[in-house]
Amino acid sequence: MNVSSAGSSGFRQKFIGDKAFYRTILGVTVPIMIQNGISSFVNMLDNVMVGRIGTEQMSGVSIVNQLVFIYFLCIFGGMGGIGIFTAQYYGNNDQEGVRATFRAKLWLGVILTAIALAVLGLFGPQLIDLFLNEGSETGDLAATLRYAEGYMKIIFLSFPAFIVLQVYGSTLRACGETVLPMKAGVAAVLTNLVLNYLLIYGVRIGGVEIIPQLGVNGAAIATVTSRYVEMLIIVLWSHTHTEKAPYIKGIYRTFRVRKSQLKSFAIKGSPLLLNECLWSIGTSFLVQCYSTRGLDVIAAFNISNTISNMFSIVFFSMGDAVAIVVGQLLGANKIQEAKDTDRKIIAFAVAFSIITAALMASVSWLFPRIYNTNDTVRHLATVLIVCYALFSPMMAFCHCTYFTLRSGGKTIITFLFDSAFTWVVSVPIAFLLSRFTALPVVAIYCSVTAADIIKCIIGFILVKKGVWAKNITEDI
């Protein structure tokens, strides 16, 4: 009895935190969860609004978002790599160091955006066409391409706002200010929601057209406008609340960054940037492999991903908690506390993902019925949602171990852990099964996702060994 009691007590002490621990973690993650939750909810409504127009419109928007997703992930990866230093500089109360990371992020954002606009501007139609395959009984490929091209041209206008938003927002979050980005996100998604309704369907009063029905283009205009609203709120707040963001003072005094800092940012950040770039391209390639089974598959994945993102915000936010809380502890040289905190965050994320997975599976049949599409798409979307729910706890563990390794600057390991794994394991499985077998898309998807158990094992070993627990700002 005593041995059992001691074992139970040891487990609780190791994996379950006290009230103060959860207050700290929830204080960081709840604003991020709310922001991500509202954003995902409005994205879902946005998706539903476009989906109620028709399958071709929904598929066209989904394909463009898949391509833009590569650009977003490159920005997140590049700024995330530099953001490792932001959190540790802030933990060490080095405001000039935070300013250096801000300026480096700004330069990086401009360069990556110029590359993205050049590639998508020159080769956009050809890239979209890669996802358009015969194989469904329904769906007009030419119409889908036309809707996608129109949507993409307008979305390009949001890129400048996205850069500035990410530079300011990522710096605020790394320095512990998560409430303001949440408020800005809420304002943006509400703007997006209202404009979506007005612009997609139009407004008629007494038979007179007040606002024209713009369909897919209206959805793009709403997204662009909401992005600028969010950017303006964060920028104006940062420059009028310098007592809470002291690093903003003199932030544009110069755009130069010391060579020693740039070298360190490049050494630690480049693998993360390359990782996100290759991982996002790999993910898009997986979708392209799935799309060989027909246009219905694109529509079904669009529906399932929308609801899956809603239920995944908890463990996605826990990854941010690892990056912020653990990163600051490492920067303050509280290595043992960082290890203990990280272990408990991972345990909390996995436990919560089991609950959300059960909820997701229980509503899997309901969500696809909202869309104006055929029964084949609805049934396939339902099955994909259930599959995602079954794999959610594993995904939560992988996500948190990834951010754990990243918080200590082990970006080369995260590169191997994430994008290298995608291209060496996931992509070949999807390519071979989609091209050389007659397996249905659900079997291919489950085979690809189940392979991530290998990542779980590797992540468990690396996190347990503590190879990531290091204050990297001391190297500069």
Centre a 10 Å sphere on the Cβ of residue 5 and count the other Cβ atoms it contains: 9
Centre a 10 Å sphere on the Cβ of residue 203 and count the other Cβ atoms it contains: 13
Q: Label residue 238 by pLDDT band (50, 70, 90).
A: very high
**Contact yes or no for 429/448 (Cβ under 8 A):** yes
- Predicted pLDDT of residue 474: 63
Q: At 147, which helix (H) or strand (E)?
A: helix 141-155
Domain that residue 404 falls in? 17-475
* Residue 409 maps to a domain: yes
- Predicted pLDDT of residue 5: 53
- Predicted pLDDT of residue 441: 94
Q: Label residue 295 by pLDDT band (50, 70, 90).
A: confident
Residue 386, Cβ density class (10 Å: 0-12 exposed, 13-18 middle, ≥19 buried): middle
Q: Label residue 25 by pLDDT band (50, 70, 90).
A: confident
Helix, strand and coil in the chain, % to nearest 5: 80, 0, 15
- Sequence-ordered list of residues with C-beta below 8 angstroms from that of 187, at least 6 positions apart, any chain: 229, 230, 233
Please give the Cα distance from 84 to 81 (Å, whole number). 6
Residue 306, Cβ density class (10 Å: 0-12 exposed, 13-18 middle, ≥19 buried): buried
* Residue 218 maps to a domain: yes
Cα distances (Å, whole numbers) of residue 290 to 102, 197, 225, 312: 39, 31, 32, 22
User: What single DSSP character describes residue 419?
Assistant: I
* Residue 3 maps to a domain: no
* Residue 5 maps to a domain: no
The region of weakest confidence among 145-159, 269-283, 421-435, 450-464 is: 269-283
**Contact yes or no for 327/88 (Cβ under 8 A):** yes
Amino acid present at 45? L
- Predicted pLDDT of residue 476: 55
- Predicted pLDDT of residue 7: 53
pLDDT per residue over 335-386, tens digit each?
888 888 888 888 888 998 999 999 999 989 888 888 878 889 899 999 999 9
Average pLDDT of the residues of the chain:
85
Q: Is the pLDDT of residue 72 over 90?
A: no
**Contact yes or no for 55/374 (Cβ under 8 A):** yes
**Which residue in the block uniquely carries the two structure tokens 């690892």?**
322
* Residue 434 maps to a domain: yes
Read off the tokens for 66. Answer: 């898949």
Read off the tokens for 424. Answer: 């060496």
Q: Label residue 440 by pLDDT band (50, 70, 90).
A: very high
- Predicted pLDDT of residue 302: 84
Task: Indicate the pTM of the whole model.
Answer: 0.73
- As separate numbers, helices (DSSP H) first and strands (DSSP E) second, the chain gives 19, 2
Backbone φ and ψ of 178, nearest 5°: -105, -15
Q: In b/e form, how buried is each residue of 126-161, taking b as 16+ CB within 10 angstroms?
A: ebbeebbbeebeebebeebbbbbebbbebbbebbbb
- Predicted pLDDT of residue 132: 83
The SS3 assignment for 204 reads: strand
What percent of the chain has pLDDT above 90? Answer: 30
* Residue 9 maps to a domain: no
- Sequence-ordered list of residues with C-beta below 8 angstroms from that of 402, at least 6 positions apart, any chain: 319, 414, 417, 418, 459
In the chain, the number of structural domains is 1
pLDDT per residue over 3-15, tens digit each?
555 555 566 667 7
